[in-house]
């Protein structure tokens, strides 16, 4: 057996490493948490890395997982070794092809990072719902429990698929395994070659479609033969487990790592046995080995091959002494008599018992239960809880573990304090911000420790669901033996708190074990820090006897030119204090790691990091801890006492990181949640906020218009209302004639501000005395925070301006409309949310929104808090997200309902004409509703109708009451990103546009899949790089506008708020008013463009000036009056494309990796701009 190369990587890489080497084609599509596997395959292919046959696999991104499965199927049928990587909804989209691939006995492996399915809510996290949903397709299901197994099972699956001709799903737990970083032994190419039999590869090729030996496959079959033909595959399924077992044996001989279809751990004479697969199996193993060593008769069977289910092998794996069994399924099958694996076990045992082959003293008691849905942590305490349940005379069947089910009482109790700690294992928890680089540093730390032959290391990282100011918790273990503890650290020996204010927000020291070391980054020295700690923190430090170290890492970062990146500084502190290795050796290794990590980024970056390391230790101090707590300061409540009960009782728990404690009864039963909850969060993530200068302000509304987080609000009001205003409340005379008594206020909600600075960039008003001073400027928040809180409270008492008195047609006027989308968790400076906010301002009180999965559905609908809000009347946008691929159709459904219910309401209103009043009915049913004034009038009529209707009894009257609100025109908007509109949902978008129905489609075009991390879409422009287009996009972006225009009856606009906000406003209003389908393509700058987001609007403007993003409106409504429906709203290109493009890393990167290709592609892109402009100009001028 060869000495193995050892490395420290995550489960996705471990799997892809093998999958890439044993395939010729990868058909891919991004989906969390499997995207990394596809990205790595694409990256390796672009680097020219070869598979084991010496050729570079072709990697092709498709428009959806359905497309990927189709391409995979085609490639397999024509003889290529082909794979794909997916998860969750992606796997669902592959199902039709999976039946085909299996039915045709095609050797292939799909690698799945198993993930929850969207049900009452979407979840990106891990469980087995997706793989369980495809268990009937005919694919074999092979499960890996760890990073090492994800590596090994990839190869075992491939070898077994080729030999058995049965396609395999190789799966491992999404996030828990796919994203866990752990030390593993790498398979060498020779070992991989030794496992893949060349004769089977040739046999696979020989089965390919070829005109040299023509046949047909994929016939349509009739009732006479389909059934028999379906049964032909049986023998292959019968043989499959034996083949897998032999492959595992061969693998074991080759590598020394021995696996079986079912692996048993624990006492050989166990009486109570767990059956489990996936990462939970490692926890079960850890638990039963711990308990067995203490004399308990317990064991666990780890399932590797779940389909085909090898009954004999399963029975053989059970100790003869088994008396009771608990089957743990990480999935839910509502309405079933049990979850799938439970049913398989019960059937197997019952069948064996009936046939006399059971081999046990008696038929064991079997219970089944669910655990760990959506990455709910599964711990040794829970595993023990299940084993304890088996001790009971009447153990609960169909149980759940890890939650409190106080409704149907299916959950079992367990002792949460039970822990299994491996000998010599050190557990460290690090609390950081996404922006401070904590996770990256910890990944390096794990690599550094993992490289040491004496150590094993493991890391798992928990992120929150915000894209700005997000918090991270790194769970890091290291020790002398392999680490299988695939669950979060509950008690830590080391706590690194990398942000001082976290002590106020979360129970950072709760997980500290007694005597654990505390490292705190704080802006205070060792002598003053104690007095700045909240009382509860002081008490914990004293009670747990925590050695306490403090460093002002931001100061060190500033002094060494690191900005806000404190990662290497805190990493150095960790090594210095933890004693994991001698300081000098640790620093040497940190520096080597820095050099490796930052080498490509230039000497300067390396040098600064070195300098930061060198300066760290002088600033690290041990704190003398007093004997008693001295602080009187208690932690503030998570949310205001003024918040609604649901927010206080449920939302606040999630916000505080205590959502796991919520019982079933606290949860809405059908995924329905109250809107307008972000306003209770007050995240305070930016130290700098905009401050308004009333004397300089020209009240244009631009700052408010572009604010991505709805932080800047304006109101006008009679000056008498200022009587009770706080002293610091700012106002100015309104800049409009004829309103001498009216004041204007621009109020900044600074606790909700992300500090992006877009408002300052867009502000046109400048001080005459001081260059650079504008009407709005970024200033430190702290000095004004208290005063501004009072100002905001007062501002909220001022009446919201009457929508009937506001000029909707101007940017300035529109900003007096209340935003009903506020304080989202989008990136600071997001280019999408200003459009969403505008939508909510213009039409929010009658708006229904269908939102495609993606960034907008995450910042729009990810718990704990959601930004869609409501006005004082209780009206506001009604929002829902169905899926990624079906959003246009989903939104069309909204329209169909609205139209149908309008039809019913109209008919019933007519029927009640006499009772309701003929004039009122006539007026209501014939009222125009295109302008806001007309809408307000209609609302008044409907209110009156409802009043009169309430006096009428009977079913019909009730029926009318249930739909009468539809007499006020509903505004249906279908929104999403380019990944949806250009790729996966394009068919739906196209079809919905073709229906002629009155829906409005808003595409927030970031030109990549932003939410999954910047993969290429068909909107990605020529010459830009993206994931899956590392060599630069070679073809032009799809012109969705022209395609929609070709229908002739679709309103189409292309807008860019940063270039022409007035045109954006006009397009939104025209689209909404147009009584047919509308499509707006909105330029949305994005963090994935590689720009300073503060320059986002400037980039929008340059995109327009270069002619890359021509502003257009195509309004079929004006055709009737003889006008040209196509209007070009931007001027001829004034700057070369590169003057816009090369401000962005996505374009510039190619000039550094492949300058010749960059030049060629940029020339091509420029030519495309010219050609497109000519077409547009022709359309605009032909009349």
Of positions 77, 116, 322, 472, contacts another protein by CB under 8 A? 472
Whether residue 728 contacts residue 791, with contact meaning beta carbons closer than 8 Å, is answered with yes
Cα–Cα distance list, 12 to 8, 36, 183, 662 (Å): 12, 6, 13, 31
Is residue 596 close enough to count as binding another protein by CB under 8 A?
no
Choose the catalytic residue: 24, 39, 65, 885.
65
- Catalytic residue at 65? yes
Is residue 769 close enough to count as binding another protein by CB under 8 A?
no
How many Å separate Cα 450 from the centre of its chain?
Answer: 29
Of positions 13, 14, 29, 33, contacts another protein by CB under 8 A? 33
CA dist 553 and 612 (Å) reads 9
Whether residue 620 contacts residue 549, with contact meaning beta carbons closer than 8 Å, is answered with yes
Of positions 353, 470, 871, 1062, contacts another protein by CB under 8 A? 470
Cα–Cα distance list, 177 to 147, 459, 557, 804, 962 (Å): 6, 10, 33, 56, 49
Count helices and strands in the chain by DSSP H and E runs? 42, 37
Contact region for another protein (CB under 8 A) — 295-303, 528-536, 806-814, 1142-1150?
1142-1150
Cα dihedral 85→87→89→91 (10° resolution): 60
Is residue 1157 close enough to count as binding another protein by CB under 8 A?
no
Of positions 151, 1027, 1085, 1172, contacts another protein by CB under 8 A? 1027
Of positions 8, 23, 32, 856, contacts another protein by CB under 8 A? 32
Is residue 1025 close enough to count as binding another protein by CB under 8 A?
yes
Q: How far is the CB of 1006 from another protein (least distance, A)?
A: 11
CA dist 160 and 166 (Å) reads 8
Whether residue 746 contacts residue 712, with contact meaning beta carbons closer than 8 Å, is answered with yes
Which residue shows structure tokens 């330029």?
1083
Choose the catalytic residue: 13, 36, 115, 818.
115
CA dist 317 and 311 (Å) reads 10
DSSP structure class, residue 1021 = P
Strands 742-748 and 732-733: antiparallel
Of positions 4, 7, 46, 58, contacts another protein by CB under 8 A? 46
Q: How far is the CB of 179 from another protein (least distance, A)?
A: 8
Q: Residue 840 or 1010: which CB sits closer to another protein?
A: 1010
Which residue shows structure tokens 């300061």?
633
CA dist 67 and 62 (Å) reads 6
Which residue shows structure tokens 């079960």?
284
Whether residue 76 contacts residue 82, with contact meaning beta carbons closer than 8 Å, is answered with yes
Q: How many residues bind another protein (CB under 8 A)?
A: 63
User: Contact letters (x/-) for another protein, 80-119, by CB under 8 A?
Assistant: ----------------------------------------
625-654 residues near another protein, rule: CB under 8 A:
none
Q: Which residues pair with 778 in a beta bridge?
A: 690
Is residue 396 close enough to count as binding another protein by CB under 8 A?
no
Cα–Cα distance list, 593 to 516, 568, 590, 599 (Å): 27, 10, 5, 10
Of positions 1152, 1167, 1171, 1181, contacts another protein by CB under 8 A? 1152
Q: How far is the CB of 432 from another protein (least distance, A)?
A: 9
Is residue 498 close enough to count as binding another protein by CB under 8 A?
no
Q: How far is the CB of 773 from another protein (least distance, A)?
A: 10
Q: Residue 46 or 929: which CB sits closer to another protein?
A: 46
Q: Any residues with CB less than 8 A from the CB of 1041 and at least 6 apart, and which?
A: 1052, 1054, 1079, 1081, 1112, 1114
Q: Which has the closest alpha carbon to 440: 569, 630, 348?
A: 569
Contact region for another protein (CB under 8 A) — 278-286, 459-467, 665-673, 1056-1064?
459-467
**Token couple for 654:** 């999630």
Q: Which has the closest alpha carbon to 465: 771, 150, 122?
A: 122
Q: Which has the closest alpha carbon to 286: 152, 148, 481?
A: 481
Cα–Cα distance list, 132 to 30, 398, 418, 816, 1029 (Å): 21, 17, 31, 52, 33
Of positions 64, 710, 906, 1011, contacts another protein by CB under 8 A? 1011
Is residue 486 close enough to count as binding another protein by CB under 8 A?
no
Strands 1078-1083 and 971-977: unpaired
Q: Where are the beta strands (DSSP E) in 645-770?
A: 688-692, 712-718, 732-733, 742-748
Of positions 878, 946, 1153, 1177, contacts another protein by CB under 8 A? 1153
Choose the catalytic residue: 616, 678, 1006, 1011.
1011
Q: How far is the CB of 122 from another protein (least distance, A)?
A: 11
CA dist 284 and 96 (Å) reads 35
Is residue 1149 close enough to count as binding another protein by CB under 8 A?
yes
825-884 residues near another protein, rule: CB under 8 A:
827, 858
Q: How far is the CB of 1147 from another protein (least distance, A)?
A: 12
Total residue length of the chain: 1183
Q: How far is the CB of 894 from another protein (least distance, A)?
A: 26
Which residue shows structure tokens 């928040």?
781
**Token couple for 172:** 């491992």
Q: How far is the CB of 911 from another protein (least distance, A)?
A: 52
Q: How far is the CB of 595 from another protein (least distance, A)?
A: 14
Q: Where are the alpha helices (DSSP H) in 406-496?
A: 438-451
Is residue 297 close enough to count as binding another protein by CB under 8 A?
no
- Catalytic residue at 115? yes
Of positions 121, 434, 510, 694, contacts another protein by CB under 8 A? 434
Is residue 1146 close enough to count as binding another protein by CB under 8 A?
yes
Which residue shows structure tokens 């596997």?
37
Q: Residue 461 or 879: which CB sits closer to another protein?
A: 461
Is residue 439 close enough to count as binding another protein by CB under 8 A?
yes
Give the torsion sign (CA, 299, 305, 308, 312): negative
Q: Residue 469 or 891: which CB sits closer to another protein?
A: 469
Query: Three-class SS of residue 140?
Result: strand
Backbone Cα Rg of the chain: 32
User: Contact letters (x/-) for another protein, 550-579, by CB under 8 A?
Assistant: -------------x-x--------------
Is residue 1084 close enough to count as binding another protein by CB under 8 A?
no
- Catalytic residue at 609? no
Is residue 55 exposed (0-12), middle (13-18) or buried (19+ Cβ within 10 Å)?
exposed
Q: Residue 600 or 787: which CB sits closer to another protein?
A: 600
Choose the catalytic residue: 32, 397, 566, 684.
32
Of positions 100, 111, 176, 179, contacts another protein by CB under 8 A? 179
Contact region for another protein (CB under 8 A) — 636-644, 836-844, 976-984, 1151-1159?
1151-1159
Of positions 1012, 1115, 1130, 1166, contacts another protein by CB under 8 A? 1012
CA dist 318 and 315 (Å) reads 6
Which residue shows structure tokens 């004041």?
743
Q: Residue 289 or 681: which CB sits closer to another protein?
A: 681
**Token couple for 533:** 């700690």
Q: Residue 995 or 1153: which CB sits closer to another protein?
A: 1153
- Catalytic residue at 678? no
Contact region for another protein (CB under 8 A) — 130-138, 277-285, 438-446, 611-619?
438-446
Is residue 1096 close enough to count as binding another protein by CB under 8 A?
no
Of positions 264, 461, 816, 1108, contacts another protein by CB under 8 A? 461
Q: How far is the CB of 445 from another protein (least distance, A)?
A: 14
Interface residues with another protein (CB under 8 A)?
Answer: 32-33, 35, 39, 42-43, 46-47, 124, 175, 179, 433-435, 437-440, 461, 463, 465-467, 470, 472, 563, 565, 598, 600-605, 766, 771-772, 827, 858, 1010-1014, 1025-1030, 1087-1088, 1090-1093, 1145-1146, 1149, 1152-1155
Looking at the annotation, which residues are catalytic?
A: 32, 65, 115, 1011
């Amino acid at each position: 057996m060869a000495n193995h190369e050892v490395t420290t990587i995550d489960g996705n890489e471990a799997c892809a490493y093998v999958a890439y080497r044993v395939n010729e084609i990868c058909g891919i599509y991004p989906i969390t948490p499997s995207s990394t596997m596809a990205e790595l395959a694409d990256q390796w292919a672009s680097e020219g890395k070869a598979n084991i046959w010496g050729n570079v696999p072709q990697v092709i991104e498709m428009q959806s997982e359905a497309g990927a499965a189709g391409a995979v199927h085609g490639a397999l049928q024509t003889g290529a070794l082909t794979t794909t990587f997916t998860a969750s909804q992606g796997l669902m989209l592959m199902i039709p092809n999976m039946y085909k691939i299996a039915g045709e006995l095609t050797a292939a492996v799909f690698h799945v990072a198993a993930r929850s399915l969207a049900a009452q809510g979407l979840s990106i996290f891990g469980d087995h719902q997706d793989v369980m949903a495809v268990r009937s397709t005919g694919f074999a299901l092979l499960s890996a429990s760890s990073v090492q197994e994800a590596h090994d099972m990839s190869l075992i699956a491939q070898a077994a698929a080729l030999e058995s001709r049965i396609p395999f799903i190789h799966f491992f737990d999404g996030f828990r395994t796919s994203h866990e970083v752990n030390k593993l032994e790498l398979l060498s190419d020779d070992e991989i070659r030794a496992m893949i039999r060349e004769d089977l590869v040739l046999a696979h090729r020989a089965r390919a479609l070829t005109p040299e030996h023509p046949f047909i496959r994929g016939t349509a079959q009739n009732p006479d033969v389909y059934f028999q033909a379906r049964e032909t595959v049986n023998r292959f399924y019968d043989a499959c487990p034996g083949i897998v077992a032999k492959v595992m044996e061969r693998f074991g001989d080759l590598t020394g790592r021995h696996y079986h279809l079912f692996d048993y751990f624990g006492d050989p004479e166990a009486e109570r046995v767990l059956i489990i697969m996936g990462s939970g199996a490692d926890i079960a193993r850890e638990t039963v080995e711990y308990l067995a060593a203490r004399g308990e008769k317990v064991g666990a069977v780890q399932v590797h091959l779940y389909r085909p289910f090898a009954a004999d092998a399963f029975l053989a794996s059970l100790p003869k002494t088994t008396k009771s069994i608990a089957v743990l399924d990480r999935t839910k099958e509502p309405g079933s008599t049990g979850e799938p694996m439970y049913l398989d076990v019960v059937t197997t045992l019952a069948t064996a018992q009936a046939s006399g082959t059971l081999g046990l003293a008696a038929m064991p008691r079997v219970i089944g239960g669910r655990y760990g849905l959506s990455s709910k942590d599964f711990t040794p305490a829970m595993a023990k809880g299940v084993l304890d349940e088996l001790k009971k005379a009447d153990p609960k069947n169909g149980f759940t573990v890890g939650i409190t089910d106080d409704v149907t009482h299916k959950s079992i109790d367990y002792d949460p304090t039970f822990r299994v700690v491996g000998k010599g294992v050190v557990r460290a928890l690090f609390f950081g911000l996404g922006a401070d680089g904590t996770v990256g540093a910890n990944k390096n730390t794990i690599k550094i420790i993992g490289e040491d032959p004496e150590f094993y290391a493991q890391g798992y990282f928990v992120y929150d669901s915000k894209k700005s100011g997000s918090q991270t918790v790194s769970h890091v273990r290291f020790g002398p033996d392999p680490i299988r503890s695939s669950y979060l650290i509950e008690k830590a020996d080391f706590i690194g708190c990398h942000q001082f204010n976290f002590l106020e927000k979360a129970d950072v020291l709760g997980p500290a074990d007694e005597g654990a070391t505390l490292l705190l980054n704080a802006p205070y020295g060792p002598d003053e820090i104690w007095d700045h700690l909240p009382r509860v923190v002081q008490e914990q430090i004293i009670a747990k006897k925590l050695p306490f170290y403090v460093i002002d890492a931001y100061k060190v970062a500033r002094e060494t030119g690191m900005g806000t990146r404190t990662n290497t500084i805190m990493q150095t502190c960790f090594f210095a204090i933890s004693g994991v290795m001698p300081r000098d050796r640790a620093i040497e290794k940190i520096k080597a790691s820095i050099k490796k990590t930052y080498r490509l980024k230039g000497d300067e970056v390396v040098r600064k990091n070195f300098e930061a390391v060198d300066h760290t230790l002088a600033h690290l101090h041990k704190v003398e801890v007093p004997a008693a707590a001295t602080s009187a300061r208690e932690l503030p409540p998570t949310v205001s006492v003024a918040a609604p009960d649901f927010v206080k009782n449920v939302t606040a728990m999630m916000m505080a990181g205590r959502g796991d404690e919520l019982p079933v009864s606290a949860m809405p039963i059908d995924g329905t949640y109250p809107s307008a909850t972000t306003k209770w969060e007050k995240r305070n993530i930016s130290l700098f906020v905009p401050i308004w200068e009333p004397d300089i302000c020209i009240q244009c509304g631009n700052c408010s218009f572009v604010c991505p987080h709805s932080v800047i609000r304006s109101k006008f009001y009679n000056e008498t209302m200022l009587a009770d205003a706080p002293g610091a409340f700012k106002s100015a005379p309104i800049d409009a004639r004829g309103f001498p008594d009216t004041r204007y206020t621009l109020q900044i909600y600074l606790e909700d501000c992300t500090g992006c600075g877009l408002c300052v960039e867009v502000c046109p008003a400048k001080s005459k005395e001081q260059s650079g001073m504008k009407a709005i400027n970024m200033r430190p928040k702290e000095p004004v925070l208290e005063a501004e809180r009072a100002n905001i409270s007062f501002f909220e008492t001022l009446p919201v301006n009457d929508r009937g008195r506001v000029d909707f047609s101007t940017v300035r006027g529109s900003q007096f409309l209340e935003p009903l989308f506020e304080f989202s968790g989008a990136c600071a400076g997001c280019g999408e949310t200003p459009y969403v906010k505008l939508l909510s301002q213009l039409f929010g009180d009658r708006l229904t929104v269908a939102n495609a999965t993606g960034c907008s559905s995450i910042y729009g609908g990810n718990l704990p808090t959601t930004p869609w809000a409501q006005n004082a009347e209780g009206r506001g946008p009604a929002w829902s997200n169905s899926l990624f691929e079906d959003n246009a159709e989903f939104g069309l459904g909204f329209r169909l309902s609205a139209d149908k219910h309008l039809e019913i309401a109209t008919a019933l209103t007519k029927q009640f004409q006499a009772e309701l009043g003929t004039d009122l009915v006539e007026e209501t049913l014939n009222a125009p509703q295109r302008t806001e004034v007309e809408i307000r009038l209609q609302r008044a009529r409907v209110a009156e109708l409802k009043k009169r209707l309430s006096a009428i009894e009977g079913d019909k009257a009730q029926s009318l009451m249930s739909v009468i609100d539809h007499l006020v025109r509903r505004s249906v908007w279908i929104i999403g990103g380019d990944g949806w509109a250009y790729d996966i949902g394009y068919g739906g978008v196209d079809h919905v546009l073709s229906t002629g129905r009155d829906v409005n489609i808003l595409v927030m075009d970031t030109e990549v899949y932003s939410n999954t991390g910047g993969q290429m879409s068909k909107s990605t422009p020529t010459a830009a790089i993206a994931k899956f287009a590392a060599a630069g996009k070679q073809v032009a972006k799809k012109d969705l506008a022209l395609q929609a225009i070709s229908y002739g009856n679709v309103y189409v606009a292309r807008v860019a708020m940063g270039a022409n906000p007035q045109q954006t406003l006009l397009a939104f209003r025209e689209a909404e008013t147009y009584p047919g389908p509308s499509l707006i393509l909105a330029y949305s700058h994005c963090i994935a463009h590689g720009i300073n987001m503060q320059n986002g609007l400037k980039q929008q403007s340059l995109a327009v000036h270069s002619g890359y993003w021509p502003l257009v409106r195509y309004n079929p409504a004006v055709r009737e009056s003889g006008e040209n429906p196509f209007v070009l709203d931007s001027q001829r290109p004034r700057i070369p494309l590169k003057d816009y493009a090369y401000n962005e890393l996505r374009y510039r990167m190619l000039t550094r990796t492949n300058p010749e290709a960059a030049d060629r592609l940029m020339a091509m892109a420029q030519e495309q701009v010219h050609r497109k402009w000519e077409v547009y100009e022709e359309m605009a001028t032909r009349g």
